[in-house]
Chains A and B, each alone.
Chain A
Amino acid sequence: EDQVTQSPEALRLQEGESSSLNCSYTVSGLRGLFWYRQDPGKGPEFLFTLYSAGEEKEKERLKATLTKKESFLHITAPKPEDSATYLCAVLTGRRALTFGSGTRLQVQP
């Protein structure tokens, strides 16, 4: 059974304080790893897809990396508007995503 674990469950940062969110997975045959951002009361919003170990993608203050066992979402110099829940999901041989429970990020001014 595919398992996805995100840590920490919640993270509070000061504006400008860089940090990383972790997504570890135990799956058979990873086809892709997805990162989403979810604001309260809204649907998840796509951020990145990573397909193979060693791959990295960046968007503004966010950078996602992938190894054979885990993915990191690095947040550099965060701003209050980066506050959200960040979701990680894996795609394997099944045709749908398995999601982690998310990391709630709060960035204080």
Chain B
Amino acid sequence: NAGVTQTPKFRVLKTGQSMTLLCAQDMNHEYMYWYRQDPGMGLRLIHYSVGEGTTAKGEVPDGYNVSRLKKQNFLLGLESAAPSQTSVYFCASSYRDDDTQYFGPGTRLTVL
């Protein structure tokens, strides 16, 4: 099992550009999450999904959109990147909401 994988690992964008981050899990988990991690601020939830075709807002959703068209994939989109979105993005998945969340290796995004 690969667990949770994320692509790409690194990306540099210019302000105003768009991109999509892909998260894939092979554990048949219902729940999937996108977090961002900034120095001194811990992990903050952006959006999450409780099943295929469903999404919900987290703590810091502005500027991001998500889609869960297939159970194993959760996409995070930035339509018009801003320097404030420079961060490390982590995807996670779990079987239930009170179950262990398994994290991917992260994507380091820099917006110039």
* Chain A positions near chain B (C-beta within 8 angstroms): 4, 31-32, 34, 36, 41-46, 49, 87, 89, 91, 95-102
Contacts and interface: CB of A to CB of B under 8 A. Distances in A.
Nearest to B47: A96
B105 A95 contact: no
Q: How large is the interface on B (under 10, 10 to 19, 20 to 34, 35 or more residues)?
A: 20 to 34
A43 B106 contact: yes
Contacts, number: 53
Q: Sorted from nearest, which 10 A-B pairs have the closest CB atoms? A: A43-B103, A101-B42, A95-B97, A99-B43, A99-B42, A44-B103, A96-B45, A46-B100, A43-B105, A96-B48
Nearest to A100: B42
Contacts of A45: 103
Nearest to A89: B43
Interface string B43-77: 11100101000001011000000000000000000
